[in-house]
């Protein structure tokens, strides 16, 4: 063996010794040992390849537990999302209850208004209705003119209602007709709060959030695409 | 927001291969799992639409990049101890090339490494014993273990 080969072997052996005891060497000493020459650099590169190759081989016989991995992912990343959604649902329910209370209050006020016509101040009663509604939907409250009928001041809630039925009522109120170019849309069901006090354009804007359908006004027709 | 069932489908379809790659590149199984979970967490955060034939390539590249980032963030001593690359020169191959090369090395070991080098090789890389532990187990000097390992690496190199 030539002295150069012996020196290379010694350098590689030093590298291998460092692998057993890296804590005994500084980072600079480790780098110097790896980069001492082309042979040591190449030897270390081969070691890293071989280590990877064997890890690759080993993991073939230990396939990942996909169910467990997904469970972990769900717990870490999707459960917080679900909790957020739950809060949104709770908030929506509370708003719904408040809204229904508003409707009930409006009904009471309307009844009082009917039974006390000519004796009290109807404008004040309706304003009170609007004030309660204001907590829920400021648009509904502010859009109600004093002279509007009480029933028009109360938002109508369509709950999981077929579009054909919902749009029929809305169109009739505004003196429009409905044309379904998209026949399948007739039976699509939506949740929608209709504030009659709002203009048709605003109502159509609100409905533009519906997925799968587009509703456009052309003259006195509402066209569903 | 993506429907989570789409994400679950993607996860179940690809996570096995992704974890396999991450385990190959990293030394730690838990870290490998974390890298894969991070890839899907980013998809979830960014509402990323994944369709088409490049999905797997994208996911695998994301895993490799995640692993390389983790390796880069390790102390040099830890990288060295776990036989990770110390620089970035080796990481220019595609993932397919990288995996093909590893398969080739494993095939060479199977076909061309004989005893006693084979035992040394297996104890060091499969059982992950230190050279000192190998020497003790086989009742030989550490110098002899080094010599057999040098011969091993040299033989593998001669077939690549």
In this structure, the answer to whether residues A81 and A29 fall within a common structural domain is: no
Q: Which pLDDT does position B45 carry in this prediction?
A: 84
CB contact under 8 A, A48 and B84: yes
* pLDDT tens digits, A12-38: 999 999 999 999 999 999 999 999 999
A77 or A49, greater pLDDT: A49
Q: Where are the alpha helices (DSSP H) in chain A?
A: 3-20, 27-34, 38-60, 66-73, 79-115, 122-136, 138-142, 150-153, 163-173, 200-207
Question: Are A60 and B21 contacting, i.e. CB atoms less than 8 angstroms apart?
Answer: no
Q: Quick check: A107 pLDDT over 80? A: no
Question: Are A171 and A178 contacting, i.e. CB atoms less than 8 angstroms apart?
Answer: yes
Q: How far apart are CA B23 and CA B64, in angstroms?
A: 10
Nearest-by-Cβ selection for A16 from B15, B103, B149: B149
CB contact under 8 A, A22 and B81: yes
Q: How far apart are CA B49 and CA A40, in angstroms?
A: 46
Domain ranges, residue A120: 74-148
Q: Quick check: A119 pLDDT over 50? A: no
Q: How far apart are CA B53 and CA B8, in angstroms?
A: 18
Question: Are A196 and A173 contacting, i.e. CB atoms less than 8 angstroms apart?
Answer: yes
- Within a domain: residue A21? yes
Confidence of residue A172 (pLDDT cuts 50, 70, 90): confident
CA separation, residue A19 to residues A110, B9, B124 (Å): 87, 42, 11
**β partners of residue A178:** A222
Which of A57-61, A135-139, B51-55, B136-140 is the least confident region? A135-139
Nearest-by-Cβ selection for A47 from B37, B83, B131: B83
Q: How far apart are CA A100 and CA A98, in angstroms?
A: 5
Question: Are B64 and B38 contacting, i.e. CB atoms less than 8 angstroms apart?
Answer: no
Q: How far apart are CA B157 and CA A155, in angstroms?
A: 80
* pLDDT tens digits, B85-95: 987 655 667 89
Q: Which pLDDT does position A163 carry in this prediction?
A: 87
Confidence of residue A150 (pLDDT cuts 50, 70, 90): low
In this structure, the answer to whether residues A81 and A126 fall within a common structural domain is: yes
Q: Helix A3-20 vs helix B131-138: angle between axes, to the nearest 10 degrees?
A: 100
Q: A98, A116, A148: which is the final residue of a domain? A: A148
Tokens (6 digits) for A56: 């690759």
User: What is the sign of the dihedral through the CA atoms of B2, B6, B8 and B13?
Assistant: negative
Show me where the domains of chain B are located.
Answer: 1-92, 94-160
CB contact under 8 A, A30 and B12: no
Tell me which residues of chain A have a C-beta less than 8 Å from any C-beta of chain B.
9, 12-13, 16-20, 22-23, 25, 27, 30-31, 34, 42-60, 63-64, 66, 69-70, 72-73, 76-78, 81
Q: Quick check: B53 pLDDT over 50? A: yes
- Within a domain: residue A219? yes
* pLDDT tens digits, A176-193: 888 888 888 888 877 777
Q: A96, A122, A148: which is the final residue of a domain? A: A148
In chain A, how many domains are there? 3
Q: Which residue has the tokens 């004989």?
A: B114
- Within a domain: residue A66? no
Q: Which pLDDT does position A103 carry in this prediction?
A: 60
Question: Are A135 and A102 contacting, i.e. CB atoms less than 8 angstroms apart?
Answer: yes
Give the count of beta carbons closer than 10 Å to the beta carbon of residue A210: 16
- Mean pLDDT over A124-143 rounds to 35
- Within a domain: residue A68? no
| Highest-pLDDT range among A87-91, A120-124, A211-215 | A211-215
Q: Does B109 touch chain A (CB under 8 A)?
A: yes
In this structure, the answer to whether residues A174 and A200 fall within a common structural domain is: yes
Q: Quick check: A91 pLDDT over 90? A: no
* pLDDT tens digits, B93-143: 789 999 999 999 999 999 999 999 999 999 999 999 999 999 999 999 999
Q: Which pLDDT does position A95 carry in this prediction?
A: 65
CA separation, residue B152 to residues A19, A116, A183, A196 (Å): 17, 104, 74, 85
- Within a domain: residue A202? yes
| DSSP secondary structure letter of residue A99 | H
The share of chain A scoring above pLDDT 70, in percent, equals: 63
Q: Quick check: B8 pLDDT over 80? A: yes
Q: Which fold has domain B94-160?
A: Arc Repressor Mutant, subunit A (1.10.10)
- Mean pLDDT over B36-49 rounds to 86
Tokens (6 digits) for A31: 């780098």
Q: Quick check: A174 pLDDT over 90? A: no
Tokens (6 digits) for A213: 């359908």
Whether the full predicted model's pTM is greater than 0.90, yes or no, is: no
Q: Which residue has the tokens 């109600």?
A: A144
Q: Quick check: A117 pLDDT over 80? A: no
Q: How far apart are CA B85 and CA B72, in angstroms?
A: 9
Helix (H), strand (E) at residue A220: none
The shortest C-alpha distance from A98 to chain B (Å) reads 29
In this structure, the answer to whether residues A159 and A209 fall within a common structural domain is: yes
């Amino acid at each position: 063996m030539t002295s150069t080969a012996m020196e290379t072997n010694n350098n590689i052996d030093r590298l291998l010794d460092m692998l057993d005891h890296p804590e005994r060497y500084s980072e600079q000493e480790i780098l110097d040992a790896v980069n001492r020459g082309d042979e040591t650099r190449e030897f270390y590169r081969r070691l890293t390849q071989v280590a990877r190759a064997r890890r690759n081989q080993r993991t073939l016989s230990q396939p990942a537990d996909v169910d467990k991995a997904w469970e972990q992912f769900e717990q870490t990343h999707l459960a917080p999302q679900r909790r957020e959604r739950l809060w949104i649902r709770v908030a929506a329910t509370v708003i719904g209850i408040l809204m229904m209370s508003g409707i009930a209050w409006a009904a009471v006020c309307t009844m009082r208004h009917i039974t006390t016509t000519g004796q009290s101040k109807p404008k004040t009663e309706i304003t009170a209705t609007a004030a309660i509604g204001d907590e829920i939907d400021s648009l509904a409250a502010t859009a109600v003119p004093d002279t509007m009928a009480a029933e028009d001041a109360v938002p109508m809630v369509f709950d999981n209602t077929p579009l054909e039925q919902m749009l029929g009522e809305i169109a009739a109120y505004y003196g429009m007709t409905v044309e379904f170019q998209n026949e399948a849309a007739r039976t699509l069901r939506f949740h929608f709060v209709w504030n009659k006090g709002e203009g048709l354009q605003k109502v159509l804007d609100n409905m533009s959030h519906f997925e799968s359908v587009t509703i456009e006004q052309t003259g006195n027709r509402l066209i569903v695409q | 927001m993506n429907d989570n069932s789409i994400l679950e489908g993607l996860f179940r379809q690809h996570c096995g291969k992704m974890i396999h790659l991450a385990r190959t590149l990293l030394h730690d199984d838990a870290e490998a799992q974390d890298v894969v979970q991070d890839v899907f967490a980013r998809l979830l955060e960014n509402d990323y639409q994944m369709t088409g034939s490049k999905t797997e390539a994208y996911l695998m590249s994301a895993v490799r990049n995640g692993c390389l980032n983790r390796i880069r963030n390790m102390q040099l001593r830890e990288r060295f101890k776990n036989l990770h690359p110390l620089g970035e020169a080796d990481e220019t191959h595609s993932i397919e090339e990288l995996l093909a090369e590893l398969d080739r090395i494993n095939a060479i070991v199977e076909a061309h490494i004989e005893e006693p080098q084979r035992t040394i090789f297996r104890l060091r890389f499969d059982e992950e014993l230190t050279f000192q532990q190998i020497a003790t187990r086989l009742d030989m000097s550490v110098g002899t273990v080094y010599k057999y390992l040098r011969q091993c690496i040299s033989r593998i190199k001669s077939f690549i």
